[in-house]
Amino acid sequence: MNKRIEELTKLTLNGEMYAHPTKTEYDREDLFLSRQQRESKRLCEFILNQEPVLTEYSKMTGFFNCGGSVVGDAFRRMGHKHTAEVMSNFYLKSIDNLSTMEWQHATADYKKVLEKGIKGIIAEIDDSLKVHTETEEIEFLNALKSVANALIGWAHKCSDRAMTLAKSVENEEYRQNLIKLSEALLNVPENTPSTFYEAVLTIYVCFSADPDSVGTLDRYLTPFYENDIKNGVMTRDDAKECLQELFLMLQAATPVTSDRFTRGGESHFCIGGYLPDRTDGFCDLSKLILESLIDLPTYIPQVTLRWTAKTPKEVFRYVLDCERKDPNKRIAFQNDEKRLKCYTEICGIPFDKAVGYTTVGCNEPAFLGAITGSNSKINFARSTETLFHKKSEKIENVKTFDEYYDVFLKELFSDLDRAYEYDDKYNRERAKDINYLSSIFFQGTIQKAKSLTQGACDTVIASPMLMGIPNVIDSLIVVKQFVFDEKIVSMGELVSAVQNDWAGYEDLHMLIKNKGDFFGNDTERSNCVAQKLYQSMYEYLKDKTNLFGYHFLMGDLFGYNPHYKWFGEKMRATPDGRKNGEPLKFGLQQSGGYDRNGLSALLNSIAKVDPNAIGCGSTVTNLMIDEQLIKNDEHFEKTVDMLETYFKMGGVHFQLTYVSKEDLINAKVTPEDYKNLRVRVSGFSDYFVKLDEAIQDNIIERTTQK
């Protein structure tokens, strides 16, 4: 990085580039206005009252953070009163240890604003005003138009501040940078950008409207990049500098005092993947994005490679090589083949729109200009607990595994029916809030004259996250193996052992844990049971939608909050060997030493489990592997081959951690000696010593694969 970026990096990591909201006073007579008139008027006044963050090193400005006095962006939900109320009652607070409300992520349609400018979006609003006649719809559209004009006014204010600062800067290069910035802000984002620099600046200014994911960055910036390189407007190094400043400003959007500042789950976006013409989208700009990012000693954003069957081997190897060289572990991997099968065949999204997906937050899928449909957490293992502790009479006399499985499914689907109803209830309450700022840049809001919170977007999936999927699979395997296949124990004895938390049944407990044919070992029985469960979930969910018509898919990650621990604490023992109060497992993976047959077997099991692709919601596969498989160049080549084969077989996702278990254990004892130890968690990365103890323990319990 050059000297200017070095100085901006220092300021960013010190928290000096954070945009503190400027307090705004409002006219008390606003109370006499209608709700939408009042909320949008105050939002416009707030925007125009903000002050841009500018230094002599800046070539970008224009970001602001919303304060609680206005209805702000749809990600942070400042001023969203109904969301605040429902969250105060249900966020991280479970209902009957079955369901709990969680956050939502989103990504604005940056491609649209680059193609039309805000002026073009205002023209869309004017066209929509000609066809909508309901008062609320007209007020909503007029509110969007007012906010869009305020954003233009805000850019002009930033232009003025940049020009003013330029007059006091002694360094001639920096002074010219500020003059260039001032001139650019008079053009964008009001109009369409004419250069790569203006395109990146447009994204940064509009990022205020949805400070979350920047989506499919490489594909919508590529035309500007290629045109400027071809015409000699800039060099590749110029583009790198521009990208690095953008990434620094994304980091700066989170206050340094927040525990999110060092977490890679903020501003997650994707590179590569299929384009609408079915070619692979990884290009020189994709590569430059990675180069720009890993050259920065920052934590945000993180990026995922979307792998396709057409991704060249050397590209896959290159990105994995970047991953092993990145000390802050900001890179993960997705399989387009499996995800696009799901989004087109199950969700019915046309291919040309489905390829616009990205992963946001901790690994939730979202589409350009759309929100994640739902992120509630569901205790998937509660039904198993219920059968063994409250309704054991229904299973003690079953004669076959299939008979047991039928009883189990009825209990599971009863739980899920109720949990998905709660998911709808959370969304119904959120829909009472009307969002203006983000809605300008989201699908369907202008055409339907409806807030993005109210189901305006068409390409959205709903993916509540199911905690305990590995526990359920392994519990099914134990019943099949020990009760019916090997007849080592009767169902009544197994029920008694579980009900007694394995007390008095220590030998059976040890036998199950040591000899159980658990998921992740690529055996015929474990694979068949896992596939049977996923087939059942496919049949259950394939036509199931939420209140907005968004298709439900299986998710399995926990995000920043250890729901798997909280659900498990209130649960009694389960047949997989888990004891009273122990955490559940999460993700499509295995841990606790249950995967005994090595990395290849684990990857094979995961890749085979879901041929229908119903599990392509918010899913995560954490791989804890021996560091020599990455750091030793000879072993690294074999690891690349293995992980590429895993994707070819149908694996959806993976992210790597290669820290010794000894170091992790020692880090809990003497954290001051391991302050720089970073790990991948559940779709994000962070310093190990900063994590919740339950999350630390989960990482330690992951089997190190060799």
Last residue of a domain, one of 193, 209, 225: 209
Classify residue 461 as left (phi > 0), alpha (psi -120 to 50) or beta.
beta
258 belongs to a structural domain = no
Strands, E, within 553-617: which ranges? none
Residue 497 token pair: 């052992």
Residue 325 token pair: 């060289």
- Rounded CA-CA distance 223/239 in Å is 13
50 belongs to a structural domain = yes
- For 704, other C-beta atoms within 10 Å of its C-beta total 18
Which residues on neighbouring strands pair with residue 462, listed in sequence order?
552
Q: Are 684 and 302 in contact (CB under 8 A)?
A: yes
Residue 120 token pair: 């073009």
8-state DSSP, 400: S
Residue 48 is predicted with a pLDDT of 98
- Rounded CA-CA distance 386/638 in Å is 45
198 belongs to a structural domain = yes
Classify residue 143 as left (phi > 0), alpha (psi -120 to 50) or beta.
alpha
Q: Are 141 and 132 in contact (CB under 8 A)?
A: yes
Residue owning tokens 């694969």: 705
Residue 706 is predicted with a pLDDT of 66
User: Which residue segment(s) compose the domain that 509 sits in?
Assistant: 377-618
8-state DSSP, 231: T
H, E, C per residue of 620-653:
CCEEEECCHHHHCHHHHHHHHHHHHHHHHHCCCE
Residue 373 token pair: 């449909």
- Rounded CA-CA distance 576/353 in Å is 41
664 belongs to a structural domain = no
Which residues on neighbouring strands pair with residue 685, listed in sequence order?
680
Strands, E, within 214-292: which ranges? 269-272
566 belongs to a structural domain = yes
**Cα–Cα nearest to 389, from 561, 172, 572, 203:** 572
- Rounded CA-CA distance 681/485 in Å is 36
- For 490, other C-beta atoms within 10 Å of its C-beta total 13
Residues whose CB falls within 8 Å of the CB of residue 389, separated by 6 or more in sequence, listed in order:
498, 499, 572
Q: How far apart are the first and last CA of the chain?
A: 36
171 burial class (0-12, 13-18, 19+ CB within 10 angstroms)? Answer: exposed
- Rounded CA-CA distance 211/361 in Å is 11
**Cα–Cα nearest to 478, from 447, 504, 509:** 509
- Rounded CA-CA distance 555/586 in Å is 10
700 burial class (0-12, 13-18, 19+ CB within 10 angstroms)? Answer: middle
Reduced to 3 states, what is the DSSP secondary structure of residue 339? helix
Per-residue exposure over 272-307, b if at least 16 CB sit within 10 Å of its own CB, e if not: bbbbeeeebbbbebbbbbbebbbbbebbbbbbbbbb
| Packing angle of the helix pair 135-166, 196-206 (nearest 10 deg) | 120
225 belongs to a structural domain = no
Distances in Å between the alpha carbon of 523 and those of 517, 585, 612?
7, 20, 20
Last residue of a domain, one of 584, 618, 652: 618
653 belongs to a structural domain = no
DSSP 88-142: HHHBT--BTTTEEB----EE--HHHHHHHHHHHHHHHHHHHHTT--SHHHHHHHH
Last residue of a domain, one of 159, 177, 209: 209
What length is written for the chain?
A: 706
- Rounded CA-CA distance 132/447 in Å is 9
- For 414, other C-beta atoms within 10 Å of its C-beta total 12
- Rounded CA-CA distance 660/704 in Å is 8
> How many degrees, rounded to 5, is the angle at CA 397 between CA 395 and CA 398?
70
Reduced to 3 states, what is the DSSP secondary structure of residue 706? coil
The radius of gyration of the chain from alpha carbons, rounded to an integer in Å, stands at 26
Reduced to 3 states, what is the DSSP secondary structure of residue 552? strand
Q: Are 174 and 57 in contact (CB under 8 A)?
A: yes
pTM of the entire predicted model? 0.96
Pairing of strands 99-100, 377-379: antiparallel
**Cα–Cα nearest to 533, from 592, 588, 604, 590:** 588
Which residue numbers in the chain have pLDDT < 50? none
Residues whose CB falls within 8 Å of the CB of residue 52, separated by 6 or more in sequence, listed in order:
19, 61, 62, 63, 64, 157, 158, 161, 162
Residue owning tokens 């499985």: 405
8-state DSSP, 687: E
Which residues on neighbouring strands pair with residue 269, listed in sequence order?
303
331 belongs to a structural domain = no
- Rounded CA-CA distance 119/125 in Å is 10
Chain centre distance of CA 629: 27
The dihedral sign for the CA sequence 405, 411, 415, 420: positive
CA dihedral 600, 302, 216, 305 (to 10 degrees): -20
For the chain, the domain total comes to: 2
